[in-house]
Every structure is written in C-alpha cells, then in structure tokens.
Amino acid sequence: MYAYGNLIGGRWVAGEAEGFETVNPARPASTIGRYSAASARQIGRMVDAAAQAQRAWRAVPSVERGAVFARFVSAIEARAEDLARSITLEQGKPLAEARAEVMKSCAEARFMAGEAARGHSLVMPSARPGMHNMVLRRPRGVIAALTPWNFPILTPMRKISPAIAFGNAIILKPSEYTPATACLIAEAARGVLPEGLLQVANGGAETGAALVGSAGISGVTFTGSVATGRRIYARAAEHLAEVSLELGGKNAAVIHDAKDLDACLDQITTAACMCAGQRCTAISRVVVRRPLLAAVTEGLVERAGRAVLGDGLEPGTTMGPLTNARQLARVSAMVEAGAREGAMVLTGGRSADVPGLEGGYFYAPTVLGGVAPSMSVAREEIFGPVISVLAYDDLDEAFAILNGVEYGLTSALFSEDNSVVQRFVDESENGMLHVNHGTIPDNHMPFGGVKSSGVGAYSVGASAANFYTTEHSVYIRHA
C-alpha cells in the first residue's frame, strides 16, 4: 500500500488537512493508498522553498540544467515497472498501456531536456545605428501544476520537464484519485534534482485552490475539464499569474473515403477506447460519408465486441475500468440521455459485470447510431468508451459537424483525395490535425487545443517556452 504526505523542500511531511484514500477501480473494495493533504499554510511553505531553490537553479547554465534533468529521467526509467504498476492500481488501465505511458513520458522528457540547450533567444536587427538588439528568455519562476487522473505520469511529466529544463521550480498537485505515481516521480528526483525544485502537494480542490491562489506562483498549468479550468483561470488572474490550460475535447474522425477501411476502423477504435476512452484526445465522434455508413457502423460494433474487460494487472485484459464511481455514473447518464434524445444504442450502453470483479467501475464499449449533431452525445465530452456515429452527404455538412462544437483539441480525417485533405488542413478548428491515422501525437510536436480546449502556450515542443519563460527585449549601445 502507498502511504505519502507532501514533499516540502526535501522532506516528506504529513499533511495538516484531511487525509484521503485511493482504491483499485477494478476492485473498489481494495484500498491502494493513504495520503494526507497539504494545508494552505503548508502550501505557503512550499512556495517559499520553491522560490529559494529556483533562485539557485536559474543561475545554473542551461546546458548543465539539461544534463541534470537527463539524469532525473534516467532515474524514472530505472523505476519504470514500479511506476507502471502504480498507474494500473490507481487509474485502472491495462499494464501494457501503463508501461507505454511511462516510456512516452520519458521520451518527451528527453526531448524537452534538449530544449534547455537551445535558449530560444534571438539576435534582432536594430532600427538605429550603434545599437545591438536582442530578445532574451528567462525562467518564469515558481510554477504550479495541477494534473488529472487519466495519465498519472504523462501529464505531470509534460509539466515538470519544461519547467525544470527552462530553469523554474515546480509544485505538483496530482489528482486525489491517482497520486501514487506523482509521489514515485518525486522519489526519483531526490538526490538528483536540488531540494525544493520539485515538490508535491497532495489533496483535493481546496489544496489546489490554495496553490493557484498563492501570490508567489508565477505560472499555473492545468489539465482537466473546461469547468475547472475556468475556475483556475479566474483564481490565477487575481494575482496575474500566467496560465497554460489544456482542457477537454469532443474529437471527431471524418471518414470520407478509405483505401483500407479495416485499418481505418482499427485506428479509430484504438483512439476511442484506449484508457477506456478517458483521454482528452479520444475520438468520440465518427463523421462518415453516407455511402460508407453501414460498413463503418458494422465494423465499429464488431470491434467494440472484441474488448476484454478486466483488471489491468491480469494478462489478456485490453480495457480496464473507468477510474472512479463518479465517472461511471457520468458516462452512464450521458448515454442514457442520448438514447432519450433519439440515439440508437447499437452495442454496449451499460455498465459491465466482469466475473470476479463485481463492483468494479466497468463500462461496456458503446457505439451509438442515428446521432444528430444537436444531440448531447454529439456535443458534450463524455470521457468514456463511447462512439457517436453521424452521417453526412457533402463536405460542407461534414465540416459543419466537425467544427460545430465548443471544443477544438484534435481531429482526424481519412481520405485519399488530396483536395479533401487540403480542405481539412485549412478548415478543421482544432489544435492538432491528423490525416489517415488516429490521434496519437509525436513526442516532439506541440500539444494543445483552441476554442474551449485550451488557453495559453501548448505543452511539449519548442513553443512551451512561451509559458515557462518570460520575454525580454534588450538594447545595447556599442558606439
């Protein structure tokens, strides 16, 4: 069983706020961890310790910072199996998915360690004789990072990596459903990163609010729901902290034509059901040209039926449970609402009973047919293994459906027609566009969204510097 308080400075300290427990979502009667939450007073101590550590860290040459951070990543890789197991135990995803999450996190982190050596500064021409102009970037300061339960290592590392590489200190508040992995990350940092540079504040909404509201926080990065993102945005604005918000999605795959329909549907099903659909980049809408509707619907239903639900630690499991009872109730309610509005449940549409795992938070992979763009299941984020199928007759209708939601995170198009591809690239109102493959991003590409799916700089990639550093115009007279 995991047992942690809060990492303040370089020591684990019992929290002064109310404690909490985590459970295995496949076996909710099984307690996995016990934690104590940080109080507002302890958050203040963390901010002070972070500021002190950051003052020394920012003075370290950037290339050396990158080398130190690379050793930290090696320490995480050495604990890969323990980290993967912690993910499966608290989050529920199959162990193979958890292992892949750890490895992708490390690959992204190594790319960001290299960014530390690149500087992101510019030499600019001068408008006046006898002058040299430059644009410099400096570390922002103390970063607050609030992360969700669906990717217990990937999302924290997407925030830790650029924060540390660019010379900042960071205080991480992981989800209260999956804090074990974050605590193991912090353990890997001990003896590698300077004390106070990476701290962990466990707790729920009150702990998060105290952290975001601290005047010593220079930047707030959050991944989660739009509703929570709005509250964090407002709280951070009270002391003018910079924000980077990665919020929800209602992602669509448009199938116009497909050279290999089976391969297309394989990728869509994976993108929809990985992590039991609890991914901000999950495909939840399939927008299909009407002549392909029957074949696409039949193929999706058949693939949904292949899923093997079970405990993520058991061999053969291809889809784990939803992470908590609240999420199971939400997915169930949204599918029921869709059915009342006229959507047809073609398969699934219910919680699933898995032998030997009674009470687990399992939901059957679901395909909804006859979905209209106005239905709630076509507009609202469900965050579960649910695919809504919508038909279109022409491209104008397809793009109206694709863009007719408040979100703009990611989208996919399957087509061999170059003119259709070009129109998709020009018109899809999403931060990430995929052509003829699912919505899995590369380790070095900017990751983020537009519209209600994001605010501020994207995570990963060179553009992360826009959040984790501040910009300074420099004028030097040399005559």
DSSP 20-40: EEEEETTEEEEEEEEEEPPPH
306-320, 406-420, 458-472: range with lowest mean pLDDT: 458-472
In three-state secondary structure terms, 213 is coil
Owner of token pair 């784990």: 320
Per-residue DSSP letter, 362 = -
pLDDT band at 120 (very low <50, low <70, confident <90, very high): confident
Residue 186's H or E segment, with its range, is: helix 180-189
Tokens of 438: 């699912």
Whole-angstrom distance, CA of residue 416 vs CA of residue 413: 10
User: Does 83 score more than 80 pLDDT?
Assistant: yes
User: Does 237 score more than 70 pLDDT?
Assistant: yes
In three-state secondary structure terms, 246 is strand
Amino acid at 396: D
Owner of token pair 């099984």: 30
- Among all residues, which ones are annotated catalytic? 246, 280
Owner of token pair 């003119």: 419
Q: Using H for helix, E for strand and C for coil, what is the string for 286-305?
A: EEEEHHHHHHHHHHHHHHHC
Tokens of 153: 């290592």
334-368 per-residue burial string, b: 16 or more CB within 10 A, e: under 16: bbeebeeeebebbbbbebbebeebeebbbbbbbbb
Range 241-247 average pLDDT: 97
The number of residues making up the chain comes to 479
For the segment 121-146, what is each residue's pLDDT rounded down to a tens digit? 888 999 999 999 999 999 999 999 99
User: Does 119 score more than 80 pLDDT?
Assistant: no
Range 143-165 average pLDDT: 97
pLDDT band at 407 (very low <50, low <70, confident <90, very high): very high
Whole-angstrom distance, CA of residue 185 vs CA of residue 163: 15
Whole-angstrom distance, CA of residue 277 vs CA of residue 327: 11
All residues at 6 or more sequence positions from 189 whose CB lies less than 8 Å from its CB, including other chains: 72, 75, 197, 198
This model's pTM is above 0.85:
yes
Whole-angstrom distance, CA of residue 124 vs CA of residue 140: 22
Whole-angstrom distance, CA of residue 418 vs CA of residue 397: 18
Q: Are the C-beta atoms of residues 351 and 363 closer than 8 Å to each other? A: yes
Q: Are the C-beta atoms of residues 431 and 454 closer than 8 Å to each other? A: yes
Per-residue DSSP letter, 88 = H
Per-residue DSSP letter, 251 = E
Which domains does the chain possess? 2-247+453-477 (3.40.605.10), 251-443 (3.40.309.10)
Measure Cα distances from 158 to 24, 96, 221, 246, 382 in Å.
Answer: 25, 20, 10, 11, 24
Whole-angstrom distance, CA of residue 313 vs CA of residue 295: 34
User: Does 479 score more than 70 pLDDT?
Assistant: no
Whole-angstrom distance, CA of residue 462 vs CA of residue 448: 13
In three-state secondary structure terms, 127 is coil
pLDDT band at 93 (very low <50, low <70, confident <90, very high): very high
